[in-house]
Amino acid sequence: MPEDKSDELRGEIIALETALAAAFGEIAVLRATMQGEGAAGALAAMEEMAKQLEASVLRGVVGAEEAGRPQAAAGFERRMELIVHALRNAIAFRAG
């Protein structure tokens, strides 16, 4: 694959990860809103969503390793950590 195309695909992956993290954050905010919580409740819900995603990293890595796919485990872990990082940035943006 040409390097330009590879870089383009990497950019698309990063954009999708960022959008996914933002969607997780918005889901958490909507959940807090439906429960009648204010801004503090929305931030707490986003933080809880981030914690749940972090917990899923370990489960996904263990599952991939048990299936004998260490490269898949490493890739999964790396991508999920980037998504959680993007969600934490969204939390910091809302809090600030």
pLDDT in tens, the chain (96 residues): 677 777 787 778 877 887 888 888 888 888 888 888 877 888 888 888 888 888 888 888 888 888 888 888 888 888 888 888 888 888 887 776
Angle at CA of residue 78, ends 21 and 2, nearest 5°: 95
Q: Is the pTM of this model over 0.75?
A: no
- Whether 21 and 50 have beta carbons less than 8 Å apart is answered as no
Residue 52 · residue 67 · CB < 8 Å: no
